[in-house]
Chains A and B, each alone.
Chain A
């Protein structure tokens, strides 16, 4: 069963999340913009637009080559992300949208997502990961984008056709 569990941001203040999530939080809390993140963090983040339709995630602009989403959907998909604008799974996009809408409204969002989703080749995978989405104003402050860091809690579990009904039930 797919789910999103929102978590209290105080967990981040106490440093109890995974290290890359905490690292993004610390930079962001100090008023950091995208250019303030280290190259290593940028390579693991995604950038998206600062607007989206209700129930939709904002259009993707960039996918860090070492990001978790790139590992899930592949480097070929990641390179075309700005053209495709979204992951290959509409259900994941819908489920993921809530956190983005918080960030669009200028509130950071920290949650745990548990999902079964599919890649471009329709291969199914089970994912469990932490996710932090922050509003990211550009340096001049007039435009806001959204930045996302995801960190897997368990390795990607690729599913065969027989496993899916069992897991979903």
Chain B
């Protein structure tokens, strides 16, 4: 299957293009809360941006912050399953 036909990739791309900043913030907040990982997530943001709240990230850094946030969430998902792939 071509990557462009992969529904998961299509969903990620659509989300990145169509969601507003507030919707992206909510999505990420829900995911981190699902893992009860708020303290750890604040540490991740503090480490990368010197700011511990996604809502306080400046507009020019926001896309990078979204990337960092999903990388963190993905690590939590992998840590849960123990997979290294």
Contacts and interface: CB of A to CB of B under 8 A. Distances in A.
Interface in B39-57: 39-40, 43-44, 46-50
A62 interface: yes
B45 to A, nearest CB: 8
Interface stretch (A15-23, A140-148, A149-157, A160-168): A140-148
A64 B44 CA distance: 9
Interface stretch (B4-12, B21-29, B74-82): B74-82
Interface residues of A, number: 29
A49 B40 contact: no
Interface string A45-86: 001011111000001011111000000000000111111000
B40 A61 contact: yes
The binding surface of chain B is classed by DSSP as helix
B83 A51 contact: yes
A143 B79 contact: yes
A138 interface: yes
A150 to B, nearest CB: 15
B37 A83 contact: no
Contact of B35 (A47, A78, A138): A138
Interface in A12-47: 33-35, 42, 47
A51 B47 contact: no
A62 B78 contact: no
13 contacts: A34-B39, A35-B39, A35-B40, A49-B75, A50-B79, A51-B82, A62-B46, A82-B44, A138-B36, A142-B35, A143-B35, A144-B79, A145-B40
Interface of A: 33-35, 42, 47, 49-53, 59, 61-65, 78-83, 138-140, 142-145
